[in-house]
């Protein structure tokens, strides 16, 4: 029997990049996967991909930054599948700029999506996990949340915040048989990193001991592990998936 048969996973930002990779991997492992994001057409595309490989998927459009949307996404997921066993808070954005030029608007936009988004989704989903006395929450942080990065004060603060959030709710929910962990990817090839100049990519590669950029699948495998029964004694941890970049 596939590892996650009978379970439902809700993956935010599942329309592309790392979230899409996670959604496909969890579906492959037998989970029914609900993917959320703001662009319905892009989500439907991934659902089609899941169905083409005999998996089960649903799309729920909405913004994690809006509490009412998060609530609606969770309610619709529960209605469609009856349960949420795995929540992957992956939706994220960047609005880079050096501090002197960083606008309050860009500060809030990033914090609202990356940190408040995880809060909104977790708050909406956790009640059903408590009721069913099991669950696994996996938050996508970043090595930038551990190391900091010039030009990314807003992003680094949001991702460091995700780590504090992860550890706090891991403590709150451990006795309810709910684990909460974070993954901290390094440089993963997606739309988010495609915008970087060739010059900074060459520089970045020099700092990666395994000498290659990561792929969404590299992160997806770790998320699958954290969602699986093999990880049931792991909670409150941050696992870097970065080819050794931040060690």
| Enzyme catalytic residues | 155
Nearer Cβ to ligand NAP (58/187):
187
| DSSP letter for each residue of 202-232 | HHHHHT-TTSS-B-HHHHHHHHHHHHSGGGT
Choices 10-18, 123-131, 172-180, 199-207; region in contact with ligand NAP by CB under 6 A:
10-18
Can residue 135 be called a binding residue for ligand NAP (CB under 6 A)? no
How many residues of this chain bind ligand NAP (CB under 6 A)?
A: 30
If one asks whether residue 192 binds ligand NAP (CB under 6 A), the answer comes out as yes
Q: Of 32 and 158, which CB lies nearer to ligand NAP in the complex structure?
A: 158
User: Could you tell me which stretch among 31-39, 50-58, 170-178, 195-203 binds ligand NAP (CB under 6 A)?
Assistant: 31-39
Q: Cβ of residue 177: shortest distance to ligand NAP, in angstroms?
A: 26
If binding is defined by CB under 6 A, does position 91 make contact with ligand NAP? yes
Q: Is 63 in the site for ligand NAP (CB under 6 A)?
A: yes
Interface with ligand NAP includes 57 (CB under 6 A)?
A: no
Is 39 one of the binding residues for ligand NAP (CB under 6 A)? yes
Rule CB under 6 A: say whether 139 interacts with ligand NAP. no
7, 10, 19, 26: residue in contact with ligand NAP (rule CB under 6 A): 19
**DSSP string for residues in the chain:** --TTTT-EEEEETTTSHHHHHHHHHHHHTT-EEEEEES-HHHHHHHHHHHHHTT-EEEEEE--TTSHHHHHHHHHHHHHHHS---EEEE---------GGG--HHHHHHHHIIIIIHHHHHHHHHHHHHHHHT-EEEEEE--THHHH--TT-HHHHHHHHHHHHHHHHHHHHHGGGTEEEEEEEE-SB-SHHHHTS-HHHHHHHHHT-TTSS-B-HHHHHHHHHHHHSGGGTT--S-EEEESTTTT-
Nearer to ligand NAP, 165 or 187 (CB): 187
Q: Which residues pair with 33 in a beta bridge?
A: 9, 57
Q: Is 142 in the site for ligand NAP (CB under 6 A)?
A: yes
Judged by CB under 6 A, which of 187, 218, 224, 240 binds ligand NAP? 187
Query: How many C-alpha atoms does 25 have within 13 Å on its Cβ side?
Result: 24
Q: Report the DSSP beta bridge partners of residue 183.
A: 140, 239
Tell the smallest beta-carbon distance from residue 15 to ligand NAP (Å).
4
Binding site for ligand NAP (CB under 6 A): 12-13, 15-19, 36-39, 42, 63-65, 90-93, 113, 117, 140, 142, 185, 187-188, 190-193
């Amino acid at each position: 029997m596939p590892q996650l048969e009978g379970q439902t996973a809700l993956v935010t930002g599942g329309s592309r990049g790392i979230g899409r990779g996670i959604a496909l991997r969890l579906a492959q492992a037998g989970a029914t996967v609900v993917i959320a994001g703001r662009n319905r057409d892009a989500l439907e595309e991934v659902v089609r991909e899941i169905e083409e490989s005999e998996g089960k998927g649903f799309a729920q459009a909405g913004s994690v930054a809006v509490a009412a949307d998060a609530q609606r996404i969770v309610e619709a997921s529960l209605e469609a599948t009856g349960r949420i066993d795995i929540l992957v808070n992956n939706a994220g954005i960047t609005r880079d700029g050096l501090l002197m030029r960083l606008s309050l608007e860009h500060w809030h936009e990033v914090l609202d999506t990356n940190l408040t988004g995880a809060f909104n989704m977790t708050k909406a989903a956790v009640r059903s996990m408590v009721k069913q006395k099991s669950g696994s929450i996996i938050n996508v942080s970043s090595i930038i949340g551990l190391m900091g990065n010039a030009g990314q004060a807003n992003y680094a603060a949001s991702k460091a915040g995700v780590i504090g959030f992860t550890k706090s709710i891991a403590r709150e929910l451990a006795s309810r048989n709910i684990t909460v962990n974070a993954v901290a990817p390094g440089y993963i090839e997606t739309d988010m990193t495609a915008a970087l100049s060739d010059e900074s990519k060459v520089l970045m590669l020099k700092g990666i001991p395994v000498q290659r950029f990561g792929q969404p699948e590299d992160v997806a495998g770790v998320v699958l592990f954290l969602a699986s029964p093999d990880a049931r004694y792991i909670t409150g941890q941050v696992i870097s998936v970065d080819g050794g970049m931040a060690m």
